[in-house]
Copies of this chain bind each other. A is one copy, B any other.
Amino acid sequence: MSCVLCAGDGGLVVARTAKFRVVRAIDGEEARRFPAFYRLIWADHVAEFSDLGLADRHVCVDSVTEIERVLRALLAPTKINLASLGNVVPHLHWHVIARFDWDSHIPAPVWAAAQRDEPSGGAAARLAQPLQAVDAAIAAALSR
């Protein structure tokens, strides 16, 4: 009955509104391989995007877009990946992930098998900006 995204933050909180929070993944392999991995987590426990009304869906996707824009502006990724899956945790959340031509999985999805070794020195060191600057820019974009 318990939901991990109701019970806890699910990552490092970088922004919070009445409707949702944005977290950065900080644990485990995914954070190490894909350091610019953010999630918009809807505050209410709903499973599917279509469980939201029109206005909330637009708030949600406009905010996902703001995160995407910050990642593009600061990190110039090869590609942005957006996804709302929720097979394991059916509480609405959107993955917003900056992908790079040097990351361990490109062009495969982050959930697939690795295509190559992780970059020497670590993936986070390859980013054009420190993650703290990205976090702050996302917080600023969502407070406008």
A residues adjacent to B (C-beta < 8 A): 47-50, 54, 57-58, 61-62, 64-65, 68-69, 72, 78-88, 90, 99, 106-109, 111-113
Q: How far is the CA of A124 from the CA of B86 in the complex (A)?
A: 22
| Copies of the chain in the assembly | 2
Query: Which DSSP category, helix, strand, loop or mixed, fits chain A's interface?
Result: mixed
Give 8 nearest A-B pairs by CB, closest first. Answer: A87-B107, A83-B83, A109-B111, A82-B84, A111-B112, A50-B68, A61-B61, A81-B85
Interchain CB contact under 8 A, A81 and B83: yes
A57-B61, A65-B57 are contacts. A80–B111 as well, Cβ < 8 Å? no
Q: Can you list 13 A-B pairs, Cβ within 8 angstroms, ordered by A?
A: A47-B79, A48-B79, A49-B64, A49-B68, A57-B65, A58-B61, A61-B61, A79-B87, A83-B85, A87-B106, A87-B108, A109-B109, A113-B113
